[in-house]
Amino acid sequence: MTMEIRYFAAAKAATGVRTERVVCAPTDRISDLLRSLEESHPALQAVLPRCSFLLDAVAVTRDRQVGSAATLDVLPPFAGG
């Protein structure tokens, strides 16, 4: 299956792209997907430990299976005021 990865803030800066599509299996865990993304974008190694993740707009942990989800949002901590 193909999943859309959407990067925000520091994750977007680390990858140089706003979105990308990756191939994964429904039994893959978020952590498996993140390892693959780090291989493609080594700069993500510094960003991902601080990130939270939304799988089809639902907050998930790294041990969650991808299942039939279509989108993963990678959300670094945001600052502002």
Q: Write down the pLDDT at residue 79.
A: 61
Residue 50 sits at the vertex; the CA angle it makes with 77 and 23, to the nearest 5 degrees, is: 105
Instruction: Among 3.50.50.60, 3.40.50.880, 3.40.50.300, 3.10.20.30, name the CATH number for the domain at 2-75.
Output: 3.10.20.30
Each residue's pLDDT tens digit in the chain (81 positions)? 999 999 999 999 999 999 999 999 999 999 999 999 999 999 999 999 999 999 999 999 999 999 999 999 999 987 654
Number of Cβ within a 10 Å radius of residue 10:
20
